[in-house]
Amino acid sequence: MHRIVIVGGGAGGLELATRLSNRFGLRKRQGERNVCVTLVDRHPAHVWKPLLHKVAAGSMSPASHELSYAAQARWHGFDFHQGELVGLSRSSKQVMLGAVHDDQGVELLPQRALDYDTLVVAIGSTTQYFGVEGAASHAIALDSVAQAERFRRRFIEACRRAGGARGSENGALAPRMQVVIVGAGATGVELSAELRDAACELSQYGLHDLDPTHDVGIVVIEAGPRILPALPERVARATVERLGQLGVTLMVGESVAQVLPGCVLTRSGQRIRADLTVWSAGVTAPPVLSLLDGLNVNRRGQLVVRDTLQSETDDDVFALGDCAACEWPGKSGGVPPRAQAAHQQAAFMVEALTCRVEGKTLPQFKYRDFGSLVSLSRFGAVGNLVAGSGEGMYVAGWVARGLYASLERMHVAALYGIRRMAIDTLANRLRRSTSPRIKLH
Ligand SMILES: Cc1cc2nc3c(=O)[nH]c(=O)nc-3n(C[C@H](O)[C@H](O)[C@H](O)COP(=O)(O)OP(=O)(O)OC[C@H]3O[C@@H](n4cnc5c(N)ncnc54)[C@H](O)[C@@H]3O)c2cc1C
């Protein structure tokens, strides 16, 4: 029996566990199987991370998009263990999982060790605060559903509070409440458009009596010379224009020096009102990766892997997704931390692990960039599509919106199969026709 343990059930890890189980027929071949697949995650359910800004704005309910790991495990024949990766012993080939506690801190599951023959680390990334004072304590990051939900509740509360305090603020032109988003990458930009939509929608349902455009300030601060630094300039220009129409204030070339309750201080000395601050200025590797029994990590703390996605240090350990430092020949910085990279690596890993189990030579991973899309809520989408080695083609309007929506549907199809994905799409449409577009409580 070859034991494959996958730690991290995110965009890459859950697709891998599902596809591997399908490949080896684990659901059908009870008793006569020669492979067993175990998935580990610190949470009990999966939500695709690129949707978290929608959860934060309330335009997507996690309840209708989450997938229970236990259910997926049962349907596909793999095992699921809830727990957080806290250590590794390469000599005894064991991963250590921390104890699981309930809301009151009572232990539900003790600390455990799991044996593996092949280990795949897919624990993603975490928010990078760059040592900015007050950022970790006073700004909200979007790393998990819990954080996104916390932000959503606070946004509604801040709108309601500001509506009640109407007229008490100085200056008739100043917004009554203001959200500051630090970082104008895709997450920050997409969130700003979603929040403008949410402010309008909440006003229509009477949850606040603010003017949703003028009284709700949305400021995006970017340290670099332009927004969307990872995307082509044309996409950034189109986005700037659209955000301007939505009344989103962009401050580029401005670094945040400190985050305080109620305001943000910039390095140029500006004090910006912030009833809520969101930190989306970058990601870094989870610190636990540096504690994994001497596995090589790079400057950013990611596990360094070869083109087979095996750790540079240990042939039995693989890594994929945001937590892996994988070279992208001809490009500096390696394969980017994106869902499409995690998806491609998961598909590759199914082939690689099949070869490994069958004792064949492992293939080599080659990342292919298909471009990027930025969704501006119901106000549109822009992006560029790459086919081959060219610069890519600019897309906007309904084409970009359709393509953006299809990315999430592709992930759902990888987990559910095409037929169930179609049913899920229909169910979501029906649900949307009987409930408000924005979660109101
Ligand atoms: C708001 C937002 C919007 C984004 N939009 C896009 C987009 O439009 N397009 C795009 O390509 N990318 C986007 N991204 C990036 C994309 O989400 C990531 O690149 C992708 O999810 C990485 O996949 P992964 O499998 O490596 O990690 P993840 O999907 O982050 O999954 C990691 C999993 O590991 C689990 N985990 C973490 N630590 C531990 C531990 N110690 N022990 C056990 N389990 C652990 C987590 O619970 C999680 O389930 C976005 C990210 C965010 C936050």
pLDDT tens by residue, 54-113: 999 999 999 888 999 999 999 999 999 999 999 999 999 999 999 999 989 999 999 999
Alpha-carbon gap, residue 351 to 344, rounded angstroms: 11
Residue 148 banded pLDDT, cuts 50, 70, 90:
very high
Question: Tokens 């996605």 belong to which residue?
Answer: 309
Position 172 scores a pLDDT of 60
CATH of domain 2-125+285-357: 3.50.50.60
Within 10 angstroms of residue 257's Cβ, the number of other Cβ atoms is 15
Q: Is the pLDDT of residue 431 over 60?
A: yes
Q: Do domains 2-125+285-357 and 135-279 have the same CATH topology?
A: yes
Position 129 scores a pLDDT of 97
Contact 311, 305 (CB under 8 A): yes
Q: Is 98 exposed, middle or buried (0-12, 13-18, 19+ CB in 10 A)?
A: middle
Q: Which atom of ligand 1 is nearest to the CA of 404?
A: 8
Please tell me the distance between residue 91's alpha carbon and the centre of ligand 1 in angstroms: 29
What architecture (CATH level 2) is domain 135-279?
Answer: 3-Layer(bba) Sandwich (3.50)
Alpha-carbon gap, residue 96 to 103, rounded angstroms: 22
* Closest residue by CA, ligand 1 atom 14: 50
Q: How far apart are the first and last CA of the chain?
A: 49
* Average pLDDT score over residue span 242-267: 97
Residue 374 banded pLDDT, cuts 50, 70, 90:
very high
Position 411 scores a pLDDT of 95
Q: For 77-91, 152-166, 258-272, 319-333, which range has the lowest pLDDT when averaged over its residues?
A: 152-166
Q: Is the pLDDT of residue 23 over 60?
A: yes
> DSSP of 214-232, one letter per residue?
TTEEEEEEESSSSS-TTS-
Position 30 scores a pLDDT of 67
Q: Is the pLDDT of residue 280 over 80?
A: yes
Local structure of residue 392 (DSSP, 8 states): -
Please tell me the distance between residue 174's alpha carbon and the centre of ligand 1 in angstroms: 37
* Closest residue by CA, ligand 1 atom 4: 50
Q: Which atom of ligand 1 is nearest to the CA of 9?
A: 49
* Closest residue by CA, ligand 1 atom 52: 50
Token pair, residue 158, equals 């801040």
Q: Which atom of ligand 1 is nearest to the CA of 346?
A: 25
Which residues have C-beta atoms less than 6 Å from ligand 1?
Answer: 7-13, 40-43, 49-50, 52-53, 84-85, 122-124, 142, 186-187, 286, 288, 321-323, 337-340, 342
Position 330 scores a pLDDT of 84
Task: Report which of residues 436 and 27 the model is more confident about.
Answer: 436
Contact 46, 14 (CB under 8 A): yes
Alpha-carbon gap, residue 301 to 297, rounded angstroms: 5
* Average pLDDT score over residue span 174-190: 95
Alpha-carbon gap, residue 272 to 263, rounded angstroms: 5
Residue 251, sorted as left (phi over 0), alpha (psi -120 to 50) or beta, turns out to be: beta
Among 49, 280, 344, residue to substitute to test ligand 1 (most atoms within 8 Å of Cβ): 49
Q: Is the pLDDT of residue 168 over 70?
A: no
Residue 47 banded pLDDT, cuts 50, 70, 90:
very high
Among 338, 370, 410, 415, residue to substitute to test ligand 1 (most atoms within 8 Å of Cβ): 338
Q: Is the pLDDT of residue 256 over 70?
A: yes
Delimit the domains of the chain by residue range. 2-125+285-357, 135-279, 371-433
* Closest residue by CA, ligand 1 atom 15: 338
Amino acid identity at 81: H
Position 391 scores a pLDDT of 73
Within 10 angstroms of residue 199's Cβ, the number of other Cβ atoms is 27
Q: Which atom of ligand 1 is nearest to the CA of 10?
A: 31
Please tell me the distance between residue 326's alpha carbon and the centre of ligand 1 in angstroms: 16
Alpha-carbon gap, residue 62 to 109, rounded angstroms: 25
C-alpha dihedral sign at 101, 102, 105, 106: negative
Q: Which atom of ligand 1 is nearest to the CA of 41?
A: 44
Q: Which helix (H) or strand (E) holds 182?
A: strand 177-182
Please tell me the distance between residue 10's alpha carbon and the centre of ligand 1 in angstroms: 6
C-alpha dihedral sign at 343, 302, 128, 7: positive
Token pair, residue 179, equals 């959200």
Q: Is the pLDDT of residue 169 over 70?
A: no
Position 392 scores a pLDDT of 83
How many helices (H) and strands (E) the chain has is answered by: 11, 27
Q: What is the pLDDT of residues 205-221, one digit of tens each?
A: 998 889 999 999 999 99
Residue 197 banded pLDDT, cuts 50, 70, 90:
very high
Alpha-carbon gap, residue 439 to 441, rounded angstroms: 6
- In the predicted model, what is the mean pLDDT of the chain? 93
Q: Is the pLDDT of residue 192 over 80?
A: yes
